Amino acid sequence: MKPNEKSDASSSNPMNPNAVTALPSAHGDQVMLFRDVSLGPREAELMFRLIHFWEARNPNTKILIGQEMLLIDEEGTVIQGFVPAGRVGTYKLIAGSVYKLSNFFGSRSKVQYRVADHSATVSFTWNSALTVLENPPVLIPEDRFRFHSYEEFKANCDSKGDLYDYVCHMKLVNGYTITKHTVLDEIDIAEKRHLCVHVQTHNRPMMKLYLWDKAATDFCQKFKLYGSTPSVLLVTTVNPKHFGGTLALTTMSSSRVFMDADVQPSKDYLEWYEMKVAWFECTATIDDVVQGSGWYYISCGGCNSKAVKGSTSLICNNKKCVKSEVTGVAQYLTMISVYDKSEQAVFVILGDAGKELTGKHAAELVDNYFETNEGVGVDACVPVPQALLDTIGQTRKFIVKVSDHNLTGKTQTITATKILPPEAPLPASSDGISKTGGDKSGPSSGFEDAVVDRARKASEILESDETKHSKSG
Q: How many residues are given for the chain?
A: 473
Domain 9-132 fold is OB fold (Dihydrolipoamide Acetyltransferase, E2P) (2.40.50)
Domain 278-468 fold is OB fold (Dihydrolipoamide Acetyltransferase, E2P) (2.40.50)
Ordered by start, the domain boundaries in the chain are 9-132, 150-275, 278-468
pTM for this model (two decimals): 0.59
With a CB cutoff of 8 Å and minimum separation 6, the contacts of 411 are: 348, 405, 462, 466
Per-residue model confidence as pLDDT tens digits over 101-132: 999 999 999 888 999 999 999 999 999 999 99
Q: Do domains 150-275 and 278-468 have the same CATH topology?
A: yes
Q: How far is CA 127 from the centre of its chain?
A: 45
Work out whether strand 344-350 and strand 232-243 pair parallel, antiparallel, or are unpaired.
Answer: unpaired
Share of the chain above pLDDT 90, in %: 51
Q: What is the CATH number of domain 150-275?
A: 2.40.50.140
The answer to whether 336 touches 286, Cβ cutoff 8 Å, is yes
Burial readout 21-33 (b: 16 or more C-beta within 10 A, e: otherwise): eeeeeeeeeebbb
Whole-angstrom CA distances from 250 to 89, 170, 267, 319, 432 are 29, 15, 23, 24, 48
CA dist., res. 458 & res. 453, Å (int): 9
Per-residue pLDDT of the chain (473 residues; tens, 9 = 90+): 333 433 333 333 333 333 333 333 344 457 999 999 999 999 999 999 999 999 999 888 989 999 999 999 999 999 999 999 999 999 999 999 999 999 999 999 988 899 999 999 999 999 999 999 999 999 999 999 999 999 999 999 999 989 999 999 998 898 887 776 678 888 889 999 999 999 999 878 889 999 999 999 999 999 988 877 899 999 999 999 998 778 999 999 999 999 999 999 999 999 888 777 677 788 999 999 987 778 998 888 777 778 888 777 788 877 667 666 788 889 999 999 999 988 888 899 988 889 999 999 999 999 999 888 887 877 778 899 999 999 999 999 998 877 666 655 555 678 888 898 875 454 544 444 444 333 333 333 343 444 444 444 444 444 444 443 333 33
On the 0-12 / 13-18 / 19+ scale of CB atoms within 10 A, 244 is: exposed
